[in-house]
Structure 1
Amino acid sequence: MSKLLFVFAGLVMWMLGSVKAQNDRDIPVPTPAQLTWQNAELVAVFHYDLHVFDGEKYNQQKNRISPIEDYNIFNPKKLDTDQWIKAIKEAGFKIAILTATHETGFALYQSDVNPYSLKAVKWRDGKGDIVKDFVESCRKYGIQPGIYIGIRWNSFYGVHDFMVNGDNQFAENRQQYYNRMCEGMVEELMSRYGDLAIVWFDGGAHGPEKGGPDVLSVFEKYQDNCIFYHNTQRADIRWGGSETGTVPYPSWGTFPFPFSHSANQEVVLANNFQLLKEGDPNGDYYMPAMSDAPLRGYNGRHEWFWEPGDEEHIFPLENLMNMYYKSVGHNTSLILGLTPNPDGLMPEPDVKRLKEWGDEINRRFSNPLATASGKGNQYKINLKGKQEINHIILQENIANGERVRKFVLEGKTSDGWQTIFEGSCIGHKFIHQFDNMEVSEVRLTVLESKGEPQIKNFQVFDFSNTLK
């Protein structure tokens, strides 16, 4: 009888193990490019275009429909992409993106298919290539390069919202020409500058099914380990639903559809982009959110491009830290917009603020009191006697997917175990800030999960909240 029970118990354990393995297989996991993206946490996007040089405030609505009269205003006499990249390197950024083209349609490299490019200007005798300079600077300082391609609007060619105006044969011919030119530019940018971390099509990129260029097949021909963002066929990340540099909690790294803007657009856009902001813990596709905001977005402004006399709109350090908590600390990577000036340099006030921000992040999070990691449902940190703590960082091993669905953090005080936080999503990183609490132990208990929980980091901190 005992032998039969033993066999039966073994069969039950085998069945449970099979269910667990099946659950593990059902968990969406990131591609290597997506994993690199989330591990980067801080991403810079440098916006540079002709209207940086016109001495006027940037007017997006006007610039989308008004060609620049004299493209030779483009003359960054002191251009130094090394200076740009050193500024973000010191702040802890890992990826940098350059606007190779934006809404004017002007290309910041030597294009053979788009005559409206650096070949056309007097600067550097028409031989400049800022994309090349940028990528080389990135690799020099250990930053992964990315390229932003704006083809949705092109004021020079008269393209608005992907399409040439008109419905006659002339418009049809121009649309075909524009589509071929866009495909050619994508081929140039994907093939000439080596491996990229991300290609970002601003506002998306209509595919052939909507009358636009076939950019995805060109991208996939040359870049096999790169984030593609995005068109109606593919999106490796999703917009976080605002340009505040923040997302709400929770923000899951999974999504119910294979791309963010599709036949399901009504669902995606509903309730002020709620699905984009929050994701879906039961989604079948790994597609983490990104948070984005310009550095010069303070006090009612929102400037992606350099403007004269705009330094007072650089976000204060306190605001940037709040942004960090609600982006990186909410399971997204933060894309910060930076604005080189007409000389071709990052303005010193911007460089200074970036350095202050990086220093403050390091001050807060480089020296945990204690750390734990492992697999399973419970993790405990024993401190050296009673200590004050005020921050906790949690990280899952997202290489094997987001598994935690419900958890509780507790601290052992003089009055016993007290709840610090009850949550749902951990993902790549969850940061919780709270009032000082004196504890001797800290405990993480996973109450619900999909598959076995895998905690990469469980860290506790104590530091002053006073900004230096």
Structure 2
Amino acid sequence: MAQEIPIPNTQQLAWQQAELGVVFHYDIHVFDNKPYNQADNRITPISNIHLFKPAHLDVEQWVISAKESGAKFAIITATHETGFALYPSKANPYNTSALGWKNGKEDLVGDFIKACRKHDIKPGVYLGIRWNSYLGIHDFKAIGTGDVQKKRQQDYNEMVEKMVTEICTWYGPLFEIWFDGGASSPDKGAPNVLPIVKKYQPNSLFYHNDQLAEARWGGSETGTVNYPCWSTFPFPYTGSGESAPESIYKNGYALLKTGDPNGSYFMPAMADAPLRGTGGRHEWFWEPGDEKTIYPLSDLMDMYRKSVGRNATLILGVTPDTSGLVPSQDRLRLQELGNEIKRQYGSPIKNTSSEKFIIKFPTLQEVQQLILAEDLSYGQRIRSFHIDAKTKTGWKTIFTGTSIGQKCIISLEHGLNCTEIKLHIDHAIGSPKIINFNAYDTF
């Protein structure tokens, strides 16, 4: 009996094809003049809402910065661990309407989504509901005991469900809805968000809760994934941390990092990393004097090859500063990244999508990199392959691999001079569907 091949739904296919996105982290604590401390931030409320006062707020500048990086989608943190909402929620009183801007109508989320559509960037929203220091919520649970705790938990769950309904119904179609650390499950007493998203945003990528994950975390915040990295998984969900099945979290989340070629569910991998993440730092939120922690361009390109080039979707974390803008150094690095991706991969010296999988050059040609791609609308079918090249001394194998998927970037360490390159599919489930086989002379 032939093996059934998991097929992506509309939103999963679009998300993998997008390849690169940006998530903008912004919260009230950016303005408190203190270093960000996650553990403390999750339990210490910020009562003075008027700390949040970006003098030159311009969410369109954020979106333009994302587009300059080559990103195809952008996500805004509508809420994070403080519980402060960047839009005038009617469900959550701890929001921008209390600031007195624009007669209480300031809506960073709405303006951000409008800017995304203006600049042909797919908009997404990130919701942090697992922690809310203002309301005393820790790991989805209202702090307290007895009936008081139960009533506070019920009130919080209802508030979150109304907020998710607002996000899903106020702003039009969304590309992705991302729940920070997952969204747990109503079976565990958490808000019941999945049916709301599926009712009002059926074509938005749902990421994720204990019932469903339409994408999976790639197992680290390095912006890279292991090779091979498969788009299939043995479960329809991933859980969060050790709330996941043991087979997911054991061995350093090995299963999240690789996926499972025989998995029954299509679930592509996300590789995420903050732009400010080098030199021992790992900054999702802006802090003064941290410009030196912005990843060098060479590191970002290595990250790109080890995420997008390994069949994952890369999401970079960018944080606006207290002025309300993406800092100039961060924006410059994003521009450099976009330009370098175009330089290296914008113009192949030769490509083929024929079923013969052969690239021929009229004379000896230097090749630095190769890109392979499958048509994932048919599922990820190829299980193993190798590539031969015809050099001055004859044919030789230059690469042996397994996963291809959305994109497989092969960098030839010292370059290669050849007249032909041939791809051999050694094993596939069903008929292989190669749509790109490109050669490049850039690195």
TM-score normalised by L of structure 1: 0.92
In structure 2, how many angstroms separate the alpha carbons of the residues matched to 1:231 and 1:30? 18
Name the counterpart of 1:441.
420
Deviates more, 1:117-126 or 1:72-81: 117-126
- 1:32 CA displacement: 1.1
In structure 2, how many angstroms separate the alpha carbons of the residues matched to 1:255 and 1:234? 12
Name the counterpart of 1:299.
279
Q: Which 4+ runs in 1 deviate beyond 4 A? A: none
Give the one of 363, 366, 377 matched to 2:343: 363
What is the 5 A alignment of 1:235-246? 235-246=213-224
Name the counterpart of 2:259.
279
In structure 2, how many angstroms separate the alpha carbons of the residues matched to 1:166 and 1:118? 28
Asked if the contact 1:314–1:350 (Cα under 8 Å) also holds between the matched residues in 2, the reply is yes
Identical residues among aligned pairs (%): 52
Give the one of 67, 85, 97 matched to 1:89: 67
Please state if 1:323 is matched with 2:303: yes
Asked if the contact 1:374–1:454 (Cα under 8 Å) also holds between the matched residues in 2, the reply is no
Give the one of 212, 222, 235 matched to 2:190: 212
Q: Report the RMSD for the aligned CA atoms in angstroms.
A: 1.2
Name the counterpart of 1:3.
none
Asked if the contact 2:122–2:174 (Cα under 8 Å) also holds between the matched residues in 1, the reply is yes
Give the one of 421, 426, 434 matched to 1:455: 434
Asked if the contact 2:184–2:239 (Cα under 8 Å) also holds between the matched residues in 1, the reply is no
SS at match of 1:174: helix
Give the one of 26, 33, 47 matched to 1:55: 33
Give the one of 328, 335, 347 matched to 2:315: 335
Name the counterpart of 1:159.
137
SS at match of 1:399: helix
Write the deviation string for residues 214-250 of structure 1: whole angstroms up to 9, x where unpaired.
1011111100111000001110000000000000100
Name the counterpart of 2:246.
266
What is the 5 A alignment of 1:213-232? 213-232=191-210
- 1:123 CA displacement: 3.5
In structure 2, how many angstroms separate the alpha carbons of the residues matched to 1:75 and 1:122? 11
- 1:338 CA displacement: 0.3
- 1:208 CA displacement: 1.2
Write the deviation string for residues 78-114 of structure 1: whole angstroms up to 9, x where unpaired.
1111111111112210010000000000001011111
Write the deviation string for residues 182-230 of structure 1: whole angstroms up to 9, x where unpaired.
0000000000000000000011112210001110111111001110000
- 1:43 CA displacement: 0.6
Matched residues, number: 440
Please state if 1:193 is matched with 2:171: yes
Name the counterpart of 2:363.
385
Asked if the contact 1:329–1:429 (Cα under 8 Å) also holds between the matched residues in 2, the reply is yes
Name the counterpart of 1:108.
86
In structure 2, how many angstroms separate the alpha carbons of the residues matched to 1:282 and 1:212? 32
In structure 2, how many angstroms separate the alpha carbons of the residues matched to 1:251 and 1:194? 33
SS at match of 1:92: coil
What is the 5 A alignment of 1:249-260? 249-260=227-238
Give the one of 56, 65, 73 matched to 2:43: 65
- 1:264 CA displacement: 5.7
Write the deviation string for residues 34-69 of structure 1: whole angstroms up to 9, x where unpaired.
111011111100001001111221111111000113
In structure 1, how many angstroms separate the alpha carbons of the residues matched to 2:244 and 2:40? 31
Amino acid at match of 1:240: G
SS at match of 1:58: coil
SS at match of 2:63: helix
Write the deviation string for residues 400-428 of structure 1: whole angstroms up to 9, x where unpaired.
01111110011101111111100000000
In structure 2, how many angstroms separate the alpha carbons of the residues matched to 1:124 and 1:391? 52
SS at match of 2:190: coil
